[in-house]
Amino acid sequence: MAAVTAGYALFSRRLATTAVSAPMVFTGFGVAIGPVGLGLLDLEHDAGPVLTLVEAALTLILFTDAMSVRRRDLRVGGFLPGRLLGIGLPLTVGVGWLLAWPLLPA
């Protein structure tokens, strides 16, 4: 994780002019080193520390993206985040719960 972060920091200025964003880079490397890709991470034994690291990385990425929103964009298109948080989030939680209920009975 530290190597990917350092690599992204080195090339972030060049990547800023492209469509490649930080979440895309970190997701790509996560898939590449995970059980599906090269298999460098073995989640069979002790997944606790790895899951904590992944959750921390996701939190940092989401907060970093949220900090880059300009106030002018929120004033002009503020209705969209309001609809997403007010309508979309409760619907997503509800549908996710309904789907998980029969799949995860415990």
Q: Which residues of 39-70 are buried (b: 16+ CB within 10 A; e: fewer)?
A: eeeeeeeeeeeeeeebeebeeebeeeeeeeee
Residue 99 has pLDDT above 80, yes or no: yes
What integer best gives the mean pLDDT of the chain?
80
Phi, psi of 50 (to 5 degrees): -65, -40
Query: pLDDT (tens digit, 9 = 90+) per residue, 28-54?
Result: 887 787 766 666 666 666 667 777 887
- pLDDT (mean) for 43-68: 76
> Largest alpha-carbon pair distance within the chain?
49
- What's the token pair of residue 8? 């992204």
For residue 20, count other CB atoms closer than 10 A to its CB.
Answer: 15
pTM over 0.85: no
How far apart are alpha carbons 26 and 54 in whole angstroms?
10
pLDDT at 44: 66
